[in-house]
């Protein structure tokens, strides 16, 4: 009986948890250009929608750039925080954990002040909004796929409850 519990638990986790994990988006800042000078990061970000759970990836050549998370005033004036606050790996992944405005700058030389290496984004609360619901089916056959899915999910949960 114990050997049956593992596959059932795995199936429940896969059906319930995995879809929520795959909804997060990893944004490569600057796309193929990466984190560099003389790139318009505001243009890059303007059509993107960021949500809590997404992450930013700053790719650059280690030693040539860095990343600082700053506040709005430091962003505006390119005020560089203490060096020990810099991200310097060349592949810095920043999870977006709270909604609101976020500001990032490069602290190397005049990269922020004169070469535009700065990014501001707004992070929205929660996952991406669900798509609009489909129109109601006009006949029983058109809703069959959805019904089969719900029946299958109910069966998985029922089997799990019986086996546990």
CATH of the domain at 107: 2.60.40.420
The answer to whether residue 149 is domain-embedded is: no
Cα 39 to Cα 8, 79, 115, 118: the distances in Å are 50, 19, 8, 9
Over range 109-120, report the average pLDDT: 98
pLDDT band at residue 124 using 50, 70 and 90 as cut-offs = very high
**Phi, psi at 51, each rounded to 5°:** -130, 155
Instruction: Calculate mean pLDDT across residues 93-102.
Output: 97
Question: With a threshold of 0.85, does the pTM exceed it?
Answer: no
133 belongs to a structural domain:
no
Kindly state whether residue 13 falls inside one of the protein's structural domains: no
Q: Is residue 156 part of a domain?
A: no
Greatest CA separation for the chain: 67
Range of the domain at 94: 25-124
46 in a domain, yes or no? yes
pLDDT at 133 over 60: no
Judge whether residue 114 has pLDDT over 50. Answer: yes
Tokens of 76: 């505006």
Domain count, the chain: 1
What is the phi/psi pair of residue 65, to 5°?
Answer: -145, 175
């Amino acid at each position: 009986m114990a050997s049956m519990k593992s596959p059932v638990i795995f199936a429940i986790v896969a059906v319930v948890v995995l879809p929520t994990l795959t909804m997060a988006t990893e944004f490569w800042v600057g796309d193929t250009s990466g984190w560099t000078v003389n790139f318009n990061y505001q243009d890059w970000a303007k059509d993107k929608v960021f949500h809590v759970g997404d992450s930013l990836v700053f790719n650059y050549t280690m030693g040539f750039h860095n990343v600082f998370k700053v506040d709005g005033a430091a962003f505006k004036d390119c005020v560089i925080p203490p060096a020990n606050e810099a991200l310097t790996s060349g592949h810095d992944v920043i999870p977006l954990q709270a909604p609101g405005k976020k500001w990032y700058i490069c602290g190397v030389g005049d990269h922020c002040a004169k070469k535009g290496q700065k990014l501001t984004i707004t992070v929205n609360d929660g996952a991406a909004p669900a798509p609009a619901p489909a129109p109601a089916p006009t006949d029983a056959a058109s809703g069959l796929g959805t019904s089969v899915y719900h029946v299958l999910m109910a069966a998985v949960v029922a089997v799990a409850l019986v086996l546990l």
